[in-house]
Structure 1
Amino acid sequence: MKDLSNQQQAIELLQQLGLKEYEAGCFVALARLPKGTAKEISETSDVPRTRVYDAIRVLETKGLVEIQHSNPQQFRAVPIEEAAETLRQEYETRTDTLVEAMDNIEPAIPDGDEEITHEVWALSGTTAITNRTQQLIDAAGREIILIVGRDEVIDDGLVEQLQEALDTGLDVLVGTQTEELREQIAKALPDAEVFVSGLEWLHSSPLEANDDTTISRLLLIDKNTILVSSVHETDTGGIETEKAVFGRGFDNGIVVIARRLMATGLLPADDPDMLADK
């Protein structure tokens, strides 16, 4: 049952990466065989034999299958690591082409010269929120303040990005919920200001005893751009989809509120102007 589940999962993932159902089925079948004829592939994959040849032809074109022109013909899959790299490169090429095409599309309504600063936008999904976090950090010009509510937010990619920001002369302040995480980040980013935050409300609401919502990350860029994400913890200890709100502009209400909340209890009392409005 587990093998069947893994096989079906592999086929579904290959389809998500651009292969059609029969192509994915044939590739997975060949990955289970040292080599195979069209008849053997069909028997292993349940792909109709009449459709195997068309699927194999596509897989060969993509560099995923090798052919031995014997009688009958024999086929074998390339090593899985090689196949994964080939698919990755094709996927990246497609996304690069998409970005180029989208950039060249004429806007239906020309953008105004003035940025609207009172709007707040919502994002869902950890991947999307992580990508937006990275984008905002890349765009920082002076200061990055990141308050970590969940340890999972900190990964090697984020640490590397923050180090790059430090190398360019930006101020980087990172707040954690535990001393243990503070020590880990301080070791990885010795030039950053790393501290244990005093924001207890990141993990619970003082007004709602049964509130299982945790602030996952709170990011303030140059005092005028804010991203706040949260997760809801389930009874089994897992989390539901991460959600975030994002706002830009020094006079944006959510930015003002977040900036002032972050100024309370984050840094030592002898440095009260670190986050003060300017």
Structure 2
Amino acid sequence: MLQQLGLKEYEAKSFVALARRRRGTAKDISETSEVPRTRVYDAIRVLESKGLVETQHSNPQVFRAVSIDEAVNTLQSKYAERTESLRSALSGLDPADEGDSTEATHEVWSISGNRGITSRTRQLVEGATEELLLVVGHKSIFTDQLAEQLQSAQERGVNVIIGTVDEELQATVQDALSSVKVFVSELDWLSRSPLPGDDTEISRLLLADREAILVSSFTETGADGREHEQGVFGRGFDNGLVAITRRLMATGLLSVNDPEAEET
């Protein structure tokens, strides 16, 4: 994880060694981390420049890692600076295509992996101005972060409606979002397909302002059987995927939006 945050292998190993020992000489660090002693000094110099290690100029020199909280805060700050620099750099790129860059409203794009799908969900929720209709097909989708985003959307005046696949999940969502309308969806095919041999499970279905749609599902991949989330995304009121989803969602919402339907 330290390497993912920008440290090289020997730097990361040296820091972990010091975090375990609290303090130590280059020899101590080398013995604990298996970093060659001649490379420890280079790694320590880098760690010191990053504010992660302190040095006692004795003979031999003694090093210690800063506290875990301080190290994490330092790395977090550096990470935030880099991501903001990246945002500025990418935003300033000259377009290679001089043609019309307007997004086509009839296109549908695929998204792979929970991280990307969660990010697009957040983008749609935070960008909504009028209405958010979310059907939660799996309990793992409804995280604390998503609950906070939906709550913030409602507080800024967005009409938030949430459907679930069963009453247990409905209760969980309603407890977290007491002022949001939560219902058990009539869309049975979200959790179980009527087609034989089709065990695909719809994980989330999100319609934002009735013109942007995100649908994702879980599939089992790999020998370990771990679930992998795949999604599709479309935008535009006249986008076919958006249009058919609006109608399907309206069918699922009938029992909570139509008083006559409720009476019957």
Normalising by the residue count of structure 1, what TM-score does the alignment of the two structures yield? 0.87
After TM superposition, list the pairs within 5 Å mapping 1:140-219 onto structure 2.
Answer: 140-208=128-196, 210-219=197-206
What amino acid maps onto 2:254 in structure 1?
L
Partner SS, residue 64 of structure 2: strand
How many angstroms apart in 2 are the aligned matches of 1:48 and 1:237?
Answer: 36
1:162–1:172 contact (8 Å) kept in structure 2: yes
Matches within 5 A, 1:88-127: 88-110=76-98, 112=100, 114-127=102-115
Q: Which amino acid aligns with 2:6?
A: G
Deviation per residue, 1:138-174 (Å, 9 max, x gap): 1112110000000111111111111111111111100
Question: Which residue does the alignment assign to 1:254?
Answer: 241
Cα offset, 1:233, TM superposition: 4.4
Rounded Cα–Cα distance in structure 1 between residues aligned with 2:101 and 2:200: 38
Provide the residue aligned with 1:6 in structure 2: none
1:224 aligns with 2:211: yes
Aligned counterparts of 2:208 and 2:36: Cα–Cα separation in 1: 56
Q: What's the secondary structure of 1:84's corresponding residue? A: helix
SS in 2 for 1:241: strand
2:214 aligned partner, one-letter code:
L
C-alpha offsets along residues 232-253 of structure 1, whole Å, 9 cap, x if unaligned? 2479996422110000111111
1:84 paired residue among 56, 59, 72: 72
Which secondary structure state, in structure 2, belongs to the residue aligned with residue 122 of structure 1?
strand
Instruction: Give the secondary-structure state (helix, strand or coil) at the position aligned to 1:42.
Output: helix
Instruction: Classify the secondary structure of the residue corresponding to 2:21.
Output: coil
Confirm whether residue 15 of structure 1 aligns to residue 25 of structure 2.
no
Q: Deviations over 1:59-90 (max 9, x none)?
A: 01111111111110001111222212211111
Q: CA deviation at 1:34?
A: 2.6
Partner of 1:68: 56
Q: Deviations over 1:212-268 (max 9, x none)?
A: 211110000111110001112479996422110000111111111211222223331
Contact 1:220 1:226 survives alignment (8 Å): yes
Structure-1 separation of matches of 2:224 and 2:183 = 27
For 1:220 and 1:36, how far apart are their aligned partners in 2?
56
For 1:224, the aligned partner's letter is E
Contact kept in structure 2, 1:196 and 1:266, CA below 8 Å: no
% identical equivalent positions: 59
8 Å CA contact 2:11–2:44 kept in 1: the answer is yes
Which amino acid letter does the alignment assign opposite residue 240 of structure 1? E
Superposed displacement of residue 207, structure 1 = 1.2
Give structure 1 stretches of 5+ with no counterpart: 1-12, 273-278
Q: Secondary structure at the match of 2:111?
A: strand
Q: Are 1:38 and 1:52, in contact at CA under 8 Å, matched by a contact in 2?
A: yes
Q: Helix, strand or coil for the counterpart of 1:32?
A: helix
Aligned-residue offset at 1:181? 2.1
User: Which shows bigger deviation, 28-37 or 92-101?
Assistant: 28-37
Give the aligned residue type for 2:43. A
- Normalization by structure 2: what TM-score? 0.92
> Matches of 1:129 and 1:167 in 2, distance apart?
24
Tell me the distance in 2 between the aligned counterparts of 1:30 and 1:46. Answer: 12
Match of 1:47 among 35, 41, 53: 35
Structure 1 residue 183, shift from structure 2 partner: 2.2
SS in structure 1 at match of 2:85 = helix
TM-aligned CA distance change 1:176 to 1:89, over 3 Å: same
Q: Which amino acid aligns with 1:174?
A: I
* Residue of structure 1 equivalent to 2:262: none
**Cα distance between partner residues in 2 of 1:17 and 1:241:** 25
- Is contact 1:195-1:267 (8 Å) kept? no
- Secondary structure of 1:44's counterpart equals helix
For 2:207, the aligned partner's letter is: L
Greater mean alpha carbon deviation, residues 219-228 or residues 101-110 = 101-110
